[in-house]
Chain A
Amino acid sequence: SAVFDDPGAYKAFLAKMYAGLAVSGQQGPAGMPDISGIDEGFSQYLRAYWEHQVLTTEEAIIGWDDQTIKDFHRQEWGSSDNFIAAMYYRIYYQISLANEFLRSTTEDKLNERGESDQTKAEVAQYRNEARFLRALSYWHALDLFGGGVPFVTEDDPIGSFMPSPINKQNLFEFIESELLAIEDDITAVGTNEYGRADQGAVWTLLAKLYLNAEVYINQGKYTECVTYAKKVIDEGPYTLEDNYEHLFLADNDHLQEVIFSINFDGIETRTYGGTTFIISAALGGDIPPEEFGLGGGWAGTRTTKALVNKFDANDGRALFYDESYGQSLEINDESDYQQGYAVGKFKNVTSTGAPGSDVTYPDTDFPMFRLADVYLMYAEAVLRGGNGGTVGQAVTYINQLRQRAYGDASGDINSGDLTLDFILDERARELYWECHRRTDLIRYDRLTGGDYVWPWKGDIKEGTATDSKYNLFPLPAADVNANTNLEQNPNY
């Protein structure tokens, strides 16, 4: 294709693969969407992922009337759900992009185009990153939709065919093998350009895959989890940011705690999804918009008391707007924004309090992987029997998080406090609204069923038990219809 006459096209294509996580199309904030059949803003990858991972849990509730959006929190979604289709098609969009990149940059093709050795070396790196991004999206597919999803690689053509489904075991192994295959070739840990994946991202993803292996393939891989968490901690240059709040502000780029981020900018990278959604939807009512660095909020998302009550008074991570801003703790009406505490964790102001470069589209990057998560994974994997780490080391890591949260050692724990339940709650306190919660609750078997309920789970105020089928999302009816090889997930 003539587009590759310009050697810059390879990097432009690489940028597209990353931008696929951040924007919704070729025009910001909207106008030339990558995927169709859904409002463009809704179709953005991170927004969809956030809705699946956060709205389905106690961490957030949403008041809008947008189609079936309330079904996430109520846990009563169905296979025709447009938001689920958005996530699914976004995942496959990313996979298709990566496949196309790999097809377009084979050695033969590079030779055919007479590319220089330098270009070839760069493209080789890009190919590793394409495989990482594909593995990341396949991991999301496995985690959200299970193993019955379609499987395509660069060996498949483009056109009208029906991809065959894979199964959990094979999909797990594919993701694992891809990550292991690029582990040593991808840019060394901490040395890639900001925004691009390197060894640190590969190791973190491997750790996350192994931590949840028991859910995915009924086989604990906690030792492997410890191994890769340790690699990140020991070999990487990552350190905890001094101020917890700074991780989520408009100038949160280039932070040493962040291993892999999705990047946004008020001018250059605009979307109605991403952190625009996360920040704008959280703002409304009587909260002054300038506190969020915005010209106004969308007044949709709040949190439930189930999250609020996990914090004690001195925990600086509890970034909530309470009664003093007209919000109430109790939620009697899901649609009323002022019921439920608002969450002021992500904002479009800088660490010095200045607004971001635009009052509609935040500059705030989204830390998809960060060191605190790796510390907590290390602790959990050790506690679940993984070899290679110690409880003592785990306590040390967790106390580092808590000292940052409390400003002093008053919140420290000892090894006796370190239980699996404590870790689950600590993950909520440290990582709420960062797209981990649904996966965490499933690992503890608490997302569905009646062991753990929260306000409006199961569509009643006090919360109630829900069907375990909601541990997986249904494959979109549109794809089951278009691809007769697919089989719908159980009970949908």
Chain B
Amino acid sequence: QKMVSGEVQDEEGGTLPGVNVTIKGTTEGTITDSKGQYSIQVPGNDAVLVFSFVGYMKEEIPVGDRTKIDVALFPDIESLSEIVVIGYGVTKKEDATGSVQAIDSRDFNVGAITAPQDLLTGKVAGVQITSNSGAPGEGSTIRIRGGSSLSASNDPLIVVDGVPLAGGGISGSRNPLNAINPNDIETFTILKDASATAIYGSRASNGVILITTKKSEVGSELKVNYNGKLNVFSSNKRVDVLGADEFRSLIEERHPTHVDMLGNASTDWQDEIYQNAMGTEHNVSIAGAYKMLPFRASVGYSNNDGILKTDNNERFSGSLNLNPSFLDDHLKININAKASVTNNTFADRGAIGAAIQHDPTQPVNWDTTFTGIPILGETDWGGYYARLQSNGQPVQLATANPVALLEQRDDKSTVNNFIGNAKIDYKFHFLPELRANLNLGYDYSKGEGDVYVPQNAAFAYNAGHGGGTDNTYTQIKKNELLDFYLNYVKEISAIDSKIDAMAGYSYQYFLDDSYGVNSNVANDSAETTYPDNPKELVLLSFYGRLNYTLANKYLLTFTLRNDQTSRFSPDTRSGMFPSIALGWKIHEESFLSNVDALSQLKLRLGWGVTGQQDIGPDWYVYMPRYTYSLPGASYLFGNSYYQTIRPSGYDENIKWEETTTYNAAIDYGFLNDRITGSVDVYLRKTKDLLNYIPVPAGSNLTNYINTNVGDLENKGVEFSINAKPISTPDMVWDVGLNVTYNENKITKLTLSDDPDYLGVPTGGISGGVGSNIQIHSVGQPFSSFFVYEQIYDDNGDPIPGAFVDQNGDGQITESDKVHKENPAPDVSFGINSGFSYKNWYFSFSGRANFGNYVYYNAESVNGTYQRLYRPEGPYLSNVTTGVYDSEFENAYYMSDYYLRNASFFRMDNISLSYKFNNIANQGINLTVTGTVNNAFVITKYDGIDPEISGGIDNNFYPRPTAYVLGVNVNF
């Protein structure tokens, strides 16, 4: 026996504290102290020391006759991602038993990215991220494994540095995640199956996304980073509508008595509302360590215009991370603060539809040479053309001048966000296997805005009350968190086992308060005040997890969470959410030890129950309560108007929605992990759906309430593969592919099983007020399209009004509608690849969806001859060129003619960069990158974009193609 000591350094010569130093083949070991020093008793010269540290490659060094061994560890780029953050802790990727996937900053999407979720698009099997429009800073719809709820939210829970965020957005914000600068994000971890998510209990049914922000470490050198981008957004897609001459001749032909309504101009209204837009982005971060205080601070600024004129998104952000350690690393403190101020100018998106419909023979601005004779009042409408009545007042229902909609509406908001938390982690001195972790979090956001439209705006004119719009609104949301857990980790070598147990308590309080005034410019009696009426919600939880590892081969995870929400009555508010998972590291078995090609093979089996409680804005659904009427809903008795009170409907028995998930998976790695990936199959069954459905008439105080009725299921397969076909010092080629198949079906919808009951209509469309194109029906995927089957003539042209009489009763009625397709893709692919050669780096990423259908609403509304002359008003309306294909006189909204296969492949990013190293020997690295976002889309769909969340294409804000020049400098 002898003592060996030494120092462990990192690749740059700094000392590395906290490194595990063990004697190979035993469980004996020590860790390096704060100066990177260690000393250990070894059995003899034959001993081999193993130095391991998270994120660094393991070193094995035979002791030999030495007593002092200094070691340098080098970062292990691969293994960095092998430690993954999970709920209330971390785990090694190879020990994870659930479907957990981490994407770190090296794998993020690049280019003009202002929203955090855009970093992830297409990267993870089973995760669909669909941006809601092409507006700058826009939010997205995120679906993990298809969504498990109907009326309740299908959004995943998002946890930032351990703070679960409140769902939903805030007034005046385009995106609830705007609080976070994408440049500050280190990793996303996606928890997909219940064994991973159940620790988040009642909010986990739709998956969990954990966001970890960048931090610094003890001993880090001071690093300063600047990155800047110049973005150019180009708009090139247009809806095909008639030109002015074509329109004029069609009116002359079909409406000779209304030719006098035509103008003499020739205006392409879509060209008038869209522009090529610019944007810039600047981020500076500084990271390092002052003695035992590692820190990282960043500031960011971005400013992007939309391709819809007047649209703008500007964000200032700042973040600070401090993670000092005390008491020989027994006490670690981690402080995170992120703040942002976002200024939005919202363009009126009504201009998109108006530009399609507006009479192209009219000018943007009044011009007597176009209109011939001056019309009374023409100078009164801000100089913008408007269709007027004979008395000089605007025709109320006529299509608004799209340019006036943009330029006369001033719609601005400011949103302040703050997310802060302090984590205190204490490893007990008397029992180092036990640590206590306290996390205090605070999430605050405030959105304020006002909308002003002047009185001379024709589209907001009101003869009785002067018109215009003067609205102001404010919303404040708060979320306070107290989280405490104890974690005990013990290796029991006697039985070759490891135990990792955790138990905790969480308290979270939410507040939501909004108020505002809607008024016209004159602020007269048409004013509506929304009073300050704060809502509160409390969630109390107990949770625990046990990980048991036997012989480093057999893994067991058990979790249990108890959630109580103030949203439900005391009798139903408590819910239990268990999960259990088994893992088997097959490659560790001796029978595979000589299969060299196989570097990793793991089987995972998981089962668990998660819940859902987020049924939207009503936080008091179980309680009887009264609502006062707002202005405009009073009633006259005698000569006085009385404000009314309304008793609201409620379900005192409302409770959790529960989703049971079964997951089976294999993780594999070949050729020393040059090929890795996994295959997951899952079945998710939701019961007691929180469903907004009709209740028996007369039994409650309204006809629809939120209650627990219905079941649905999702099943699917996810496959991913990452390969490194080339890996030489000069040349590296990576390629990743993921494939997702998901199938969704409603299995129960109501208490009874009446076969005649069609289901709950959904998917409102424009044209034919209140019409729905989708339905939730038993036996069908949710939001299935519900349509008449169009009959075609011998030439393949649709016969107007001819539909398949499914029940053969000689009439076309509601009972002849059929379920057909749905908006969700059957299969989706994500592909990404990077190729580096010396200082060059080329990468691309793209996505494909197959079997997703879109209802082409813009066409069904505007593609009929009947649109040309509108008797309401009256006014003239442009039509799409699709009318020449259908030759429809009248509208047939419910025809499956408008249901289109919208399968597509989209090239999300193409990027090329060059890195200049060590400029002027000053240690400065500069990377210049050129990126094209949304480079191209391959699809048969003839609308503006095939990728429409919800599947109804109606006046979609086109996604621009972005050309981005970026520089990244490291000092």
- Closest residue of chain A to B630 (Cβ to Cβ) is A27
Chain A positions 175 through 208: 1 when the CB is less than 8 Å from some CB of chain B, otherwise 0: 0000000000000000001111000000000000
Chain B positions 386 through 411: 1 when the CB is less than 8 Å from some CB of chain A, otherwise 0: 00011101111110000000000000
Chain B positions 198 through 209: 1 when the CB is less than 8 Å from some CB of chain A, otherwise 0: 000000000000
B464 interfacial contact with A, CB 8 Å: yes
A132 to B650, CA, bound (A): 26
For A64, A193, A478, the residue with the greatest tally of chain B CB atoms inside 10 Å of its CB is A478
B90 interfacial contact with A, CB 8 Å: no
Given A15-B643, A160-B651, A269-B633: A479 in contact with B700 (beta carbons within 8 A): no
Are A27 and B463 neighbours in the complex by a CB distance under 8 Å?
no
B635's partner among A18, A71, A93 (CB-CB below 8 A) is A18
Chain B residues positioned under 8 Å from A56 (CB to CB): none
- Closest residue of chain B to A11 (Cβ to Cβ) is B642
A297 to B644, CA, bound (A): 30
What is the minimal beta-carbon distance from A71 to any residue of chain B, in angstroms? Answer: 7
Are B702 and A19 neighbours in the complex by a CB distance under 8 Å?
no
For A67, A338, A459, the residue with the greatest tally of chain B CB atoms inside 10 Å of its CB is A67
A319 interfacial contact with B, CB 8 Å: no
Are B389 and A270 neighbours in the complex by a CB distance under 8 Å?
no
A358 to B526, CA, bound (A): 10
Are B645 and A9 neighbours in the complex by a CB distance under 8 Å?
yes
Chain A positions 1 through 25: 1 when the CB is less than 8 Å from some CB of chain B, otherwise 0: 1010000010111111011001101
A311 interfacial contact with B, CB 8 Å: no
Are A193 and B637 neighbours in the complex by a CB distance under 8 Å?
yes
A350 to B704, CA, bound (A): 39
A100's partner among B391, B397, B464, B647 (CB-CB below 8 A) is B647
A298 interfacial contact with B, CB 8 Å: yes
A269 to B640, CA, bound (A): 12
With A42-B769, A267-B525 given, name 15 new contacts (CB 8 A).
A13-B644, A32-B630, A38-B770, A65-B890, A89-B703, A194-B639, A195-B635, A268-B635, A268-B636, A285-B871, A295-B389, A295-B395, A296-B873, A333-B890, A477-B754
Are B698 and A480 neighbours in the complex by a CB distance under 8 Å?
no
Task: Give 8 closest A-B pairs by Cβ, nearest first.
Answer: A28-B632, A39-B770, A296-B396, A299-B872, A337-B871, A193-B638, A152-B698, A299-B871
- Closest residue of chain B to A36 (Cβ to Cβ) is B704
What is the minimal beta-carbon distance from B760 to any residue of chain A, in angstroms? Answer: 8
Chain A residues positioned under 8 Å from B758 (CB to CB): 80, 477
Given A15-B643, A482-B751: A88 in contact with B701 (beta carbons within 8 A): no
Chain A positions 192 through 229: 1 when the CB is less than 8 Å from some CB of chain B, otherwise 0: 01111000000000000000000000000000000000
Given A337-B871, A478-B757: A96 in contact with B633 (beta carbons within 8 A): no
A92 interfacial contact with B, CB 8 Å: yes
Chain B residues positioned under 8 Å from A65 (CB to CB): 767-768, 771, 890-891, 893
Which B residues, 767 to 788, have Cβ-Cβ distances below 8 Å to chain A? 767-771
B27 interfacial contact with A, CB 8 Å: no
**Total B residues in contact with A, Cβ cutoff 8 Å:** 86
Chain A residues positioned under 8 Å from B645 (CB to CB): 3, 9, 12-13, 16
A3 to B815, CA, bound (A): 46
A34 interfacial contact with B, CB 8 Å: yes
What is the minimal beta-carbon distance from A311 to any residue of chain B, in angstroms? Answer: 24
B701's partner among A15, A28, A158, A357 (CB-CB below 8 A) is A158
Chain B residues positioned under 8 Å from A193 (CB to CB): 637-638
A116 interfacial contact with B, CB 8 Å: no
Are A266 and B647 neighbours in the complex by a CB distance under 8 Å?
no
Chain B residues positioned under 8 Å from A159 (CB to CB): 651-653, 699-700
Given A265-B636, A359-B462: A478 in contact with B694 (beta carbons within 8 A): yes
Chain A residues positioned under 8 Å from B692 (CB to CB): 36
A107 interfacial contact with B, CB 8 Å: no
A300 to B634, CA, bound (A): 28
B276 interfacial contact with A, CB 8 Å: no
Are A195 and B638 neighbours in the complex by a CB distance under 8 Å?
yes
What is the minimal beta-carbon distance from B317 to any residue of chain A, in angstroms? Answer: 35
B761 interfacial contact with A, CB 8 Å: yes
- Closest residue of chain A to B524 (Cβ to Cβ) is A267
Are A483 and B770 neighbours in the complex by a CB distance under 8 Å?
no
What is the minimal beta-carbon distance from A274 to any residue of chain B, in angstroms? Answer: 12
Chain A residues positioned under 8 Å from B525 (CB to CB): 267
A439 interfacial contact with B, CB 8 Å: no
What is the minimal beta-carbon distance from A321 to any residue of chain B, in angstroms? Answer: 12
For B635, B757, B768, the residue with the greatest tally of chain A CB atoms inside 10 Å of its CB is B635
Chain B residues positioned under 8 Å from A449 (CB to CB): none
Stretch at the interface among A234-242, A286-294, A375-383, A395-403: A286-294
- Closest residue of chain B to A458 (Cβ to Cβ) is B811
